[in-house]
Structure 1
């Protein structure tokens, strides 16, 4: 397991001069930092800043470092940060295996074997040739998780990834996601409005004001 660390140093985001988000934190290997707050409190804005696609209407200061390297001014695709959203966002024109293969680094050895192992890890053995449209919501979420991990990110941002799942699937997916992130040694930041998400993440909790 490779260990990574994400440092958020004196992050300060404003709009029209008014403070929106202020954060200073270190997220260690396998840790999940949860940021909670109502709509409009700046959760999504914080994610956009960290991922590298903050709208120019916002003013942002501070430093984001991944494994000691300053990534604050790097374009999104060079930051080494993976994203997991509310929707699985699977490519409809690709098979399940094609979706997993899409994000893998070009020179990854034994891609087919790794894809088969990833599907087996989440109870989807033999699903490689399936059309994503034939999958259930929980199965799509599992494929999205493994696509993220196979892309070999060094940190992960989670944007309310469980909010659109049926209630009975949420706890199962929480355990699956957080277990895999911990095993992979990935520092992760979760934004959510659900306290059960925060409890399952098991890390520190920061609450943003309205």
Structure 2
């Protein structure tokens, strides 16, 4: 079993009367990557700043390799933080920014710098200053600078948000492969569930100052702990505080079986296409929610629809099954 690299115990953080982090406790093993996903403004960035030493926790403790680092200054922690904004040194070139990171950590290696420049597609811009390259190029440089330090833990605060979709996809896999190759422990914050699933060995759904559930993507999807997890994961219709049904089990026409069925009336508001297949976006007033369901065909005058749910397919939230 891999040793524990980072351990957080009963972490709390308040700003005046607002409790942002509410008793967080978790562990990261060496080389483990945890994706923290949650809505904007939920406190994900505050968590990273506390871990990096840029904010002091109101209560609780932080441990690295069995040593209490709660009071350790940021520059004394073997932790790198990659912000949403690049924050490069404006008077240094792309290459100099990366070299600076490596030299500060005393891990400079010319071959490593060359490999990083090539990996982020910035070799031809190595002598450019930050003001002379695009925002996406600046963020790639910031990523390379953080990785050049080879820290024990890297914290990512939505580092791909400013990149175009194709580059974002490529960099996701490159960063993931780099972390795995280096056996680097990482915590990756995002509000994008697809990104969270690509990057993390496990996913932590963060809301209301706490982790609502931590687990592999398949576990969170098939066995959500509560309404908040099901809502954020998507792919479910929440019936009430205790029950939900996977969208794949909802029928827009009555089934031919003899089983009991719950029926809800809905109104189709939009028709879109995903991977070439039509998807109906349906408002269900009785549940106060909207769902997107794949359909075989929908005529333009079909606005009122019925959702038929076999009761045998209705599930209970995991938290309620253990009460």
Q: Which residue of 1 aligns with 2:90?
A: 92
Show structure 2 runs of 5+ residues with no match: 209-323
- The structure with the largest alpha-carbon Rg is 2
State the superposition RMSD in angstroms: 2.5
> Is 1:12 matched up with 2:12?
yes
For residues 47 and 105 of structure 2, the distance between their equivalents in structure 1, rounded to whole angstroms, comes to 32
The 5 Å alignment of 1:94-173 reads 94-106=92-104, 108=106, 111-173=109-171
**In structure 1, the residue corresponding to 2:103 is in which secondary structure?**
coil
Shift of 1:77: 0.7
How many aligned residue pairs are there? 205
Residue 109 to residue 43, structure 1, CA distance change in 2 (3 Å) = closer
**In structure 2, the residue corresponding to 1:188 is in which secondary structure?**
strand
Q: Which residue of 1 aligns with 2:178?
A: 180
Shift of 1:127: 3.9
**1:89–1:144: 8 Å Cα contact kept in structure 2?**
yes
Shift of 1:81: 0.7
Shift of 1:14: 3.5
| 1:44-74 alpha-carbon deviations (Å, 9 max, x no partner) | 221121111226xxx5222211222211111
TM-score of the superposed pair, with normalisation by structure 1: 0.84
For residues 123 and 116 of structure 1, the distance between their equivalents in structure 2, rounded to whole angstroms, comes to 11
Larger RCO of the pair (alpha carbons < 8 Å, separation 6+): 1
For residues 107 and 169 of structure 1, the distance between their equivalents in structure 2, rounded to whole angstroms, comes to 28
**1:10–1:23: 8 Å Cα contact kept in structure 2?**
yes
**2:102–2:108: 8 Å Cα contact kept in structure 1?**
no
The range that moved more, 142-151 or 16-25, is 16-25
Residue 39 to residue 106, structure 1, CA distance change in 2 (3 Å) = closer
Shift of 1:5: 1.5
> Is 1:202 matched up with 2:196?
no
Show structure 1 runs of 5+ residues with no match: none
**1:4–1:187: 8 Å Cα contact kept in structure 2?**
no
**1:4–1:186: 8 Å Cα contact kept in structure 2?**
no
| 1:170-209 alpha-carbon deviations (Å, 9 max, x no partner) | 2112111122122121111122111122111132222222
Task: Write 1 or 2 for the structure with the bigger share of strand.
Answer: 2
| 1:19-61 alpha-carbon deviations (Å, 9 max, x no partner) | 4323221112222212222233221221121111226xxx522
TM-score of the superposed pair, with normalisation by structure 2: 0.57
| 1:60-113 alpha-carbon deviations (Å, 9 max, x no partner) | 222211222211111111111101111222222111111012122358476444
The 5 Å alignment of 1:68-87 reads 68-87=66-85
